[in-house]
Structure 1
Amino acid sequence: MPLSAKVRDRCRAYLKPGEEIRYVFPGTSVRIGDLPGMVPFLVVVTDGGIAVLGCSDRFRKHRPNSVFDRLPRDTRLGPVDIDGSLGPTVDVGGVLLEIDEEYIPVIRAADLELAGGANLPQDPLPEL
């Protein structure tokens, strides 16, 4: 399910002034470095960087309460590992996150933006 405008508004409070949100997806940590996880996170991709936001707890998984890490925008989020015994996982700044399948296209789109316009798919409904 797409994240609501309320969730995006909550995330804005943790961004740098003027940053525009491009993509947001939730994940639950499988591990953080060498430590086990189960901590909810929101990953916010903006025009200027990537913010990894820690959330309150598993019952308030879409309520950020801290900035865990900031990464430069040229950081690739993929590849998404879909072959493990868990659900799909992605490593974001040393945090292995389990994500819902529906957010795989979000991660791929964020990475595709880094490649520039030449690699973006053509508009399926071009103006005539």
Structure 2
Amino acid sequence: MPVTAAIRGRCRALLSPGESVHYVFPVTLVGSSGVANYMIVVSDRSITVLATKVFSRYEPAAVWATYPRRTRLGPLSFGAGPTIELGGTVFEVDDEYVAVVGAADAEAFSPDDLPRDPLPDL
């Protein structure tokens, strides 16, 4: 299920002015002693990892790391759950967001493989 417009707006507020959000999905830090949730925001300029508030997986609080847009999110590794490695850190991705990881990489590395947006003004 896609994140809501309200969550996307909260994420957008933590990005640099003028950045256009393309994809947003929640992840969990693998190997943490407790639950550590983050949001990954893929924009036209960067991939930004946002730390979330302690009691809310979907409430971004601060920028944790930023990577160039040409950073590849995949390939996904499948074990106990799908994971990605970003900047040496392993994050678990919910099954429902696996396609988002693939779409974000396809947009950056093979945009001709993506279908045209049927609702470009949304």
Is the TM value for this pair above 0.5?
yes
Are the structure 2 counterparts of residues 93 and 36 from structure 1 closer, same or farther at C-alpha, using a change threshold of 3 Å?
farther
* Equivalent residue, structure 2, for 1:88: 82
Structure number with bigger Rg? 1
Paired with 2:87 and 2:12, the residues of 1 have a C-alpha distance of 20
Match of 1:42 among 39, 43, 53: 39
What is the DSSP-based 3-state SS (H/G/I as helix, E as strand, rest coil) of the residue aligned with 1:2? Answer: coil
Gaps of 5+ in 1: none
TM-score for the superposition, normalised by structure 2:
0.87
- Alpha carbons 1:55, 1:64 under 8 Å: kept: yes
What is the DSSP-based 3-state SS (H/G/I as helix, E as strand, rest coil) of the residue aligned with 1:65? Answer: strand
Are the structure 2 counterparts of residues 122 and 20 from structure 1 closer, same or farther at C-alpha, using a change threshold of 3 Å?
closer
- Alpha carbons 2:107, 2:114 under 8 Å: kept: no
Give the number of aligned pairs: 117
* Equivalent residue, structure 1, for 2:5: 5
TM-score for the superposition, normalised by structure 1:
0.83
Are the structure 2 counterparts of residues 69 and 37 from structure 1 closer, same or farther at C-alpha, using a change threshold of 3 Å?
farther
How many Å apart are 1:122 and its aligned residue?
5.2
* Equivalent residue, structure 2, for 1:70: 66
Q: Which runs of 4+ in 1 moved over 3 A?
A: none
Deviates more, 1:104-113 or 1:35-44: 35-44
Cα deviation per residue 1:71-90 (whole Å; 9 max; x = unaligned)?
A: 000000001111x1x21111
Identity in percent:
43
- Alpha carbons 1:29, 1:37 under 8 Å: kept: no
Root-mean-square deviation (Å): 1.8
How many Å apart are 1:95 and its aligned residue?
2.1
Paired with 1:38 and 1:30, the residues of 2 have a C-alpha distance of 9
What is the DSSP-based 3-state SS (H/G/I as helix, E as strand, rest coil) of the residue aligned with 1:6? Answer: helix
